[in-house]
Chain A
Amino acid sequence: MTATTTPAAAVSSRPGLRRRLNRPLAVGGVLAIWLVVWVLLRGRDTLDLSAASLTPLHRWLNDVNDTVGANRNSNPLFLYVFNEIRAVIDTLVVFIQGLIAQPSYGRPLPVLGWLGVVAIVAYAGWAFGNWRVALLAAGGFVLFGLQGLWQESMDTLALTLSAVFVSLLFGIPLGIWAGLSDRFHRVITPFLDFMQTMPTFVYLAPLTLLFMIGPAAATIATLIYAMPPAIRITAHGIRSVPHPPLEATDSLGATRLQALTKVLLPLSKRTIVLGVNQTIMAALSMVTIAALIDAPGLGKTVIKALQTLDVGTAFNAGLAIVVMAIVLDRVTTAASARVQERPDDGRGRGQRLRRPLTVAFGVVALVCSYLSYTYLWAAEFPGGFEVGSYLSQAATSVTTWAQDDLSGVTGAFKDVTTVALLNPFQALLADSPWWLVGAVAVTLAALLGNVRAALTAAVCVALLVATGLWQDSMVTLAMTIVATLLVMALGIVVGVWMGRSSRADRVIRPVLDAGQTMPAFVYLIPFLALFSASRFTAIFAGVVYAAPVAIKIVADGVRGVPATTVEAATAAGSSSWQMITKVQLPMARQSLTLAANQGLIYVLSMVVVGGLVGAGALGYDVVAGFSQGQLYGKGLAAGAAIVLLGIMLDRIARAAADRSGSGPASTHT
């Protein structure tokens, strides 16, 4: 049915015609037509499908899945490819687990006890950063022990390190390549979108079929989700290196390799570390989901606690995940700062005493490791600390208070927002005939963006119809748009604030890290009490998870505005407001686009979690597909529909951003 929509797009984007069109007016016109046709034809051709019904495509996907399962043990692809990959990754994970988490090499305890791990982490904090980072790292890790979660934390750490290691091993080279080559960038971007938005629930069961139940499947599930940020942000870093230094190297006759190692990499280091950091965060955000296929560690504690609605215990374990994220984040960030500072620092006072201290502390860490290898007191974290149960009790009483005393107010808030904002939006999208929404999407893509965006939109609309889940997609789309708008509003306000004030940054960043890494399952229970099982709860959860990444990227962009520009603007007498709206935000435009893209993708990655708390639609389809064999194909189709929605929205937004930014001020290639 794309035939009816594509010509319209082609016509409206022909350059001659476009110039004569007043675009805001045209967009308004399209929306007005939509409303009128909606009034006339609402409820027709909405392509709805009830929760238990299937289409032939869904049945076919079920059959494919069954065939793979039935032939697993005889197929050479499995015997020689997947089994080999599994063996390598299993070895890696089991090795790290043996070091820090699990009994190994015939010992009842891991090779390194708590004292050794704490010493090494503190040492790494000091070596890469400074004594403050070292203190934070040691304190954070000791806290795991005090919470009574030492072994679980180390299991999680082992799995995360493995997944991050493999992600970076492949991700950074791929990211550099994507940064250098436009063609490769174009090729890989849809794959990255796919990896980040295809819900984990969809491939969790197939992964255990391919790689069997165990650490390998859990690691691979984690790295599928964690690798894209490394690739994407590395590429972004390389691409946003200013042109003058590059041209200078070119004119000096440097080779490509020299240009890369001497100019591009050093200048994009700050951004690449942001990618490493986001990879770690993404990996940690998978901890709970991976626990559904028996991944060891803190995720299991959260899932178990959830079965009995024990928010306190879930919070305790969730907090450990957050603390681990913050420690790993600070150590990596400090490492980048140190590397960057070194050239300016030269051979000052720091350098001379740093070397002997490094050796001395290294010896201390080694001795601690030896102690923890040998003696029970240093190997097993002493029990009897009540920190964990205090934390659980505190979290439980806060939750109880909130559900008892707040739920009246929050419930009313939910009802008003749903009736006034979400329902009309959803009615418009889901009750319109599908061809109408499709035509509107394609026309808007052409008007706001370009022909390419219109074509992408047309293809996505066609494929959405093919999944058989059109109406569910529209319901999810309504929720996604509302959530993304909220995310961007928060992203810009808080991001600019953080970008301009390093004190604000210091205070807010841990909160953001918590929002990104605290497993959604922990706060879903209180949210359910506050907003009951509803679409609004799902939106709220999506915003909590997606806003941090948008905020961080905006802050990074604002901070990346050259100091000289800011000084010049200040000298010219700009007010703070003018500075933000006329200088900092426009110059951080690329970051804003990236923030919108990542915000959207993170919201979409929460669609499934939304399905667990009453969002229905695609999220529920995916969850149901994970839980019931007959619905597997439908779940997979729903996963694909989520990806398609993501790609469509992102391409339209990106094309629109490109166009609005292609004025004279832009230095865009």
Chain B
Amino acid sequence: MRRDTSWKMRLAAVSLTTVTALALTGCGGAKVGDSTASGSGSGSCGTFNVAINPWVGYEANAAVIAYVAETELKCKVTKKDLKEEIAWQGFGTGEVDAIVENWGHDDLKKKYIEDQKTAVSAGSTSVEGVIGWYVPPWMAAQYPDITDSKNLNKYASLFKTSESGGKGQLLDGDPSFVTNDEALVKNLGLNYKVVYAGSEPALIQAFRQAEAKKTPLIGYFYDPQWFLSEVKLVKVNLPAYTAGCDADAEKVACDYPKYDLDKIVSKKFADANGPAYQLVKNFTWSNADQNLVAKYIAQDKMSPEAAAKKWVEANQDKVKAWLPKS
């Protein structure tokens, strides 16, 4: 027992003296705070709170804007990961300055822009959003006429699953997106049942499996989306959209409208009219630009910052046009 004790004591003493010696000699070299005297100059821009909604295309917009704001305008950018609804709510409490890709959301526009007057629009991003029904490419190749919604009933039995109760399954995804699919199925007289996958990953996984295993699948999807550069889903044509054909949600029998994806900022942020606001207002780019940055992030596994840097360095002319004119 005693030997055991003294052995442990000695060990403790040795480690203690070693560590103390290390500390005293300062063998570590560089001290905390040595090299970072500069770098955090706040400049005239101040803090810029940008919401990050949870999809990669959004992240691409936000990453590029944040990168430019930090490097060119010397803003202190705070990114806040939030769902759309909560981000809009943040305009009122002053914790969010900007949402940089907004898909429609007429209800939120009414609530926060018209009623509560805490938000204002900051114009289009020039990115066009498409929503619709898609099939994996192997199906479009094998059944060329499947891309016309008139022929869907012919194929309904292919799409039967354990969840669809004997009908064809139409898979819907993330409930954040507007869907008229139940009304569409009814009004187009289709022998299908809408099954709610409930999330974007579930939807993407379903399409990925369907293409890899050559199993039938039809579901709700949208463009721009990084997954389309992995698997080129083929859009099914519903009866063409005409203005007002979706006015009554119960009676919709036409395709989804094209969305002009825009930017929303808090009223305070717009009124202050600082350089960060100017940047957000001026920001526009193409679907191809966004898809490229989204691909850097999603498939090349770059960090959003690195992806933004790469794109900005290759597209200086576009970036110049966004900067405040002064």
Contact = CB atoms under 8 A, between A and B. Distances in A.
Contact of B175 (A50, A294, A623): A623
Nearest to A291: B81
A225 interface: no
Nearest to A616: B196
Contacts of B84: 627
B116 A70 contact: yes
A294 B83 CA distance: 9
Contact of A613 (B202, B204, B212): B202
Interface string A156-173: 000000000000000000
Contacts of B86: 204-205, 208, 213, 292-293
A214 B226 CA distance: 29
A208 B196 contact: no
B206 A353 contact: no
A251 interface: no
Contact of B206 (A307, A360, A364, A532): A532
Contacts of B8: 353, 357
Chain A interface category by residue count: 35 or more
B89 A371 contact: no
Given A306-B201, A364-B15, A418-B162, A213 B82 contact: yes
Interface in A331-361: 349, 352-353, 356-357, 360-361
B201 A524 contact: yes
B253 interface: no
A307 B55 contact: yes
A213 B95 contact: yes
B9 A357 contact: yes
B274 interface: no
Interface string B13-48: 101100110110010111111101000000000000
Contacts of A615: 198
A371 B8 CA distance: 24
Contacts of B163: 418, 533-535, 614, 616
A98 to B, nearest CB: 14
B108 interface: yes
A615 to B, nearest CB: 7
A300 B52 CA distance: 11
Nearest to B12: A360
Interface string A43-79: 0000000111000000000000010011011000000
A316 to B, nearest CB: 12
Given A300-B81, A376-B28, A612 B95 contact: no
A628 B23 contact: no
Nearest to A632: B85
Contact of B93 (A213, A377, A529, A535): A213
Interface in B294-311: 297-299, 301
A379 B31 CA distance: 9
A209 interface: yes
A415 B16 CA distance: 63
Considering residues B28, B82, B204, B226, which has the most beta carbons from chain A within 10 angstroms of its beta carbon? B28
B12 A357 contact: yes
Contacts of A367: 16, 19-20, 23
B198 A370 contact: no
Considering residues B30, B82, B86, B115, which has the most beta carbons from chain A within 10 angstroms of its beta carbon? B86
Contact of B213 (A52, A407, A535, A627): A407
Contacts of A214: 95
B5 interface: yes
A414 B162 contact: yes
B34 to A, nearest CB: 7
A379 B32 CA distance: 8
A300 B301 CA distance: 16
Nearest to A131: B8
A626 interface: yes
Considering residues B89, B115, B208, which has the most beta carbons from chain A within 10 angstroms of its beta carbon? B89
A52 B249 contact: yes
Contacts of A456: none
Interface residues of B, number: 76
B31 A208 contact: no
Interface in A293-345: 293-294, 300, 303-304, 306-310
Nearest to B55: A307
A373 interface: yes
Interface in B260-303: 297-299, 301
Nearest to A70: B116
Contacts of B9: 353, 356-357, 360
A612 B209 contact: no
Contacts of B206: 528, 532-533
Contacts of A73: 92-93
Given A614-B198, A616-B198, A626-B85, A371 B28 contact: yes
A419 B162 contact: yes
A627 B198 CA distance: 11
Contacts of A150: none
A629 to B, nearest CB: 5
B1 interface: yes
A629 B198 contact: no
Given A367-B23, A375-B32, A528-B206, A614 B83 contact: no
Contact of B161 (A66, A532, A613, A623): A532
Interface string B199-215: 11111111011001100
A420 to B, nearest CB: 11
A108 B96 contact: no
B21 to A, nearest CB: 10
Contact of A368 (B19, B85, B108): B19
Interface string B70-81: 000000000011
17 contacts: A69-B116, A212-B95, A292-B83, A292-B86, A303-B54, A309-B205, A353-B5, A364-B15, A375-B32, A533-B198, A534-B163, A613-B197, A613-B199, A620-B196, A620-B198, A628-B175, A629-B111
Given A204-B86, A627-B174, A628-B85, 19 more contacts: A205-B83, A292-B86, A303-B81, A307-B56, A308-B299, A353-B8, A356-B12, A361-B12, A364-B16, A364-B19, A376-B28, A407-B209, A525-B201, A528-B202, A532-B209, A612-B199, A612-B202, A613-B202, A629-B107
Closest 3 CB pairs of A and B: A375-B28, A624-B175, A533-B197
